[in-house]
Amino acid sequence: MRYSRLQWNHSHPAEPVEVLSEYDEAGWEIRKVERFPDGAFGYASAAESAGGTQLSLIQRPPDAEVAAEPEFRVSELSKVDFERIWAAARQPLKKMKRVS
């Protein structure tokens, strides 16, 4: 498994500013957490989803391809950090603040 943090610099309130993903070895998303500008979050897996978040329908592009876009910043994330963020995002009635 691979884990990544994508930070998206934009001014669209309905779009996430941060996307944290777990990928399998082939590059398909297994789980995802999205954080929105107002602190709200969404999450998705094959078994559940909330906040309008859904798993990607395409395989993960190479980091260099994503980072070539000036509004994106991508970095690796540890399994431990992803699990902590996943658990926090799934807590009912909470807005997820920056968890790292």
Single pTM value for the model: 0.86
* pLDDT at site 37: 93
What's the order of all strands across the beta sheet hosting 49-50? 49-50, 41-45, 29-35, 18-23, 2-8, 72-76
Residue matched to tokens 């658990």: 87
Look at residue 63 in the predicted model and tell me its pLDDT.
83
- Rounded to whole angstroms, how far apart are CA atoms 38 and 17? 10
**Model pLDDT, residue 96:** 46
Query: Coil, helix or strand for 60?
Result: coil
Q: From CA 79, how far away is CA 22, in angstroms rounded?
A: 8
Give the Å distances, CA to CA, from 63 to 12, 58, 73, 80, 88.
Answer: 23, 14, 9, 21, 26
Contact 76, 3 (CB under 8 A): yes
pLDDT at residue number 100: 45
Q: What is the pLDDT along the chain (100 residues), one digit of tens a residue?
A: 999 999 999 999 899 999 999 999 999 999 999 999 998 999 999 999 999 999 999 999 988 898 899 999 999 999 999 999 999 999 875 554 444 4
